[in-house]
Amino acid sequence: MSQRNSSITSQGAQEIVANLKPALASISNAREYMGGPSRAKFYADILPLLETIKFSDSDKRRWVVVASMDRLI
């Protein structure tokens, strides 16, 4: 490892971590992120416009791609 790569300060590392944004959000977090619409409004009008992910066929939870929310806003 070069000297230059190993010289990241703890402050620099904290700035990098602070700039990270989660890629996925739960439905409840997505509703909050989108301004807190009612569940009915979110499921009927907003969710169909967003990218969602299910990790398996048996998984009942859907995750919303944060980038798709950013594009919609």
What stretches of 1-73 show up as alpha helix (H) in DSSP?
10-19, 27-33, 39-41, 66-72
Q: What is the pLDDT of residues 12-25, one digit of tens each?
A: 666 776 677 889 99
Domain residue extents for the chain: 21-72
Give CA–CA dist 71/34, Å, rounded.
11
Please give the model's pTM, rounded to 2 decimal places.
0.70
Q: Are 30 and 70 spatial neighbours (Cβ–Cβ below 8 Å)?
A: no
Going by the DSSP 8-state scheme, the letter that residue 55 receives in this structure is: S
| Whether residue 6 has pLDDT greater than 90 | no
Which region, left, alpha or beta, applies to residue 32 given φ > 0 means left and ψ of -120 to 50 means alpha?
A: alpha
Give CA–CA dist 22/49, Å, rounded.
19
